Structure 1
Amino acid sequence: MILDSKSLKALRRAKGEMNITTIALAKEIGVSRFSLARALKGQGITSNNAKIINNWLITQLLEK
């Protein structure tokens, strides 16, 4: 599964705004650094990891 363009843009933006490494962001989200790196490159990840990332993005948006 590949993240849709809006989710991918939001994920990249969150990483940039937080000024955080991929490893640190992966720990915060709860996925492996490899899965997060693949997601950031627009490559396929498991549907479970996509769900975890999307849930984290929603949480981040609600906190703002």
Structure 2
Amino acid sequence: MKLTEKQLHLLRRRKGELNISINTLAGLVGISRWTMAKIINFNANVRPTTASKVNEWLLDQYSAEYLKEEGGWY
């Protein structure tokens, strides 16, 4: 299973926005640095559980950012 181009773009973008290393990003997402490097550099095949972890992390990141901009839950 590969991440979509949009998922990959968002992951790379968030890494840049936070100005963090692949090692740090891998720790935040909850996967190994080797797997994260393969994803970031080559969009390598990943297990469904790994894709799920990446998706959950991206969702948490962007939903928290959205809530901060909108002023919280209504």
Interval containing the TM-score (normalised by the shorter chain)? over 0.9
Distance 1:31 1:61 in 2: 19
Computed over aligned residues only, the root mean square deviation of the Cα atoms, in angstroms, reads 0.7
The normalised TM-score by structure 2 is: 0.82
Counterpart of 1:56? Answer: 57
C-alpha distance after superposition, 1:27-60 (max 9, x if no partner): 1110001111111121111111010001100000
Distance 1:47 1:37 in 2: 17
Distance 2:60 2:48 in 1: 18
Aligned residue runs from structure 1 range 24-39, under 5 A = 24-39=24-39
The normalised TM-score by structure 1 is: 0.94
Structure 2: which 5+ runs fail to align?
Answer: 66-74
Residue type at the aligned position of 2:13: R
Counterpart of 1:20? Answer: 20
More relative contact order, 1 or 2 (CA 8 Å, 6+ apart): 1
Residue type at the aligned position of 2:14: A
Distance 1:36 1:47 in 2: 14
